[in-house]
């Protein structure tokens, strides 16, 4: 037998031996998603998560970082869930401030009113955060609200509803046909969400958590951006929106040397 044949025979014997020694743990049984199982009483192979389980990248719903709502508001939500009350004679939830939650139904500027939305940021805002907020705003928000935050982005130029301006004075108005404005009834720079509850408040005075909520859930003609923008970046956009507002209207406290 030639050396070549001996080599080929040795390789073949080696492969046969390796195949015969393959461990069975390499072929462990498993279930495909939603495949039934006789092992569990409910017939499901995939086990439901225990109540309260979250994954490492998930935030608790009561964390203002994740929702923009205060812990006080979440206390009301949990109380309502634990003791649901259905009163057919009561006004609808849209008209009854005590029958709903997570909406701008109280003027938080008035002392003693419930705090629904967070009024402070969940983390210290740095110059890097503002840069990131400007970047995200330019990508996702400027097309409608405009680079200046005046509601005059490209979407409006093409005849769509005029988005909310963040300023109560006109900033960088473009010379376009007034019939294209489709201006809402709310005054310039005032919140439309609060207006539905009979509350008149300029956007520069709404709680920062309210702006976060609108980014996350959308409002009116604005879609929600929860899938495109993560929680931390939503807060950075809010901070940049505040910077745009401060550029046109410096808060009295800041002008006096205090914190805005």
Cβ contact 171:148 at 8 Å: yes
Q: pLDDT at residue 13 above 70? A: no
**If phi over 0 gives left and psi between -120 and 50 gives alpha, with beta otherwise, what is residue 28?**
beta
Which is more confident, 194 or 89? 194
Which pLDDT score, from 0 to 100, does residue 127 have?
A: 96
Q: Read off the pLDDT of residues 185-243 as tens digits, 9 standing for 90 and up.
A: 678 899 999 999 999 999 999 999 999 999 999 998 899 999 999 999 999 999 999 99
How far apart (Å, rounded) are the C-alpha atoms in residues 170 and 152? 10
Which pLDDT score, from 0 to 100, does residue 119 have?
A: 96
Q: How many CA atoms lie within 13 A of 130 on its CB side?
A: 9
Q: Read off the pLDDT of residues 104-126 as tens digits, 9 standing for 90 and up.
A: 999 999 999 999 999 999 999 99
How far apart (Å, rounded) are the C-alpha atoms in residues 134 and 237? 7
How far apart (Å, rounded) are the C-alpha atoms in residues 162 and 186? 11
Q: Is residue 193 exposed (0-12), middle (13-18) or buried (19+ Cβ within 10 Å)?
A: buried
How distant, in Å, are the alpha carbons of 110, 116, 168 from that of 140?
33, 26, 22
Domains, the chain, with CATH or none: 127-206+219-251 (1.10.760)
């Amino acid at each position: 037998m030639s050396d070549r044949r001996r080599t080929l025979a040795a390789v073949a014997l080696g492969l046969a031996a390796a195949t015969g020694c393959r461990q069975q743990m390499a072929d462990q049984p498993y279930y495909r998603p939603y495949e039934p199982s006789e092992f569990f009483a409910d017939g499901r192979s995939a086990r439901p998560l225990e109540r309260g389980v979250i994954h490492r990248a998930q935030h608790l719903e009561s964390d203002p970082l994740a929702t923009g709502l205060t812990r006080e508001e979440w206390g009301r939500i949990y109380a309502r869930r634990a003791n649901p009350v259905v009163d057919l004679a009561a006004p609808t939830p849209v008209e009854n401030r005590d029958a709903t939650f997570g909406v701008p139904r109280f003027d938080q500027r008035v002392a003693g009113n419930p705090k629904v939305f967070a009024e402070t940021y969940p983390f210290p805002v740095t110059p890097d955060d503002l840069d990131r907020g400007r970047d995200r705003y330019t990508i996702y928000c400027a097309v409608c609200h405009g680079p200046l935050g005046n509601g005059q982005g490209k979407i409006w130029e093409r005849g769509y509803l005029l988005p909310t301006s963040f300023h109560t004075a006109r900033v960088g108005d473009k010379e376009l046909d007034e019939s294209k404005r489709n201006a809402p009834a709310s005054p310039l720079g005032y919140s439309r969400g609060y207006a539905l509850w009979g509350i008149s408040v300029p956007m520069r005075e709404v709680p920062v958590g309210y702006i976060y909520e609108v980014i996350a859930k959308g409002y009116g003609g604005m879609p929600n951006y929860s899938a495109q923008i993560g929680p931390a970046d939503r807060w950075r956009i809010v901070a940049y929106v505040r910077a745009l507002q401060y550029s046109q209207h410096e808060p009295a406290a800041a002008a006096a040397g205090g914190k805005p």
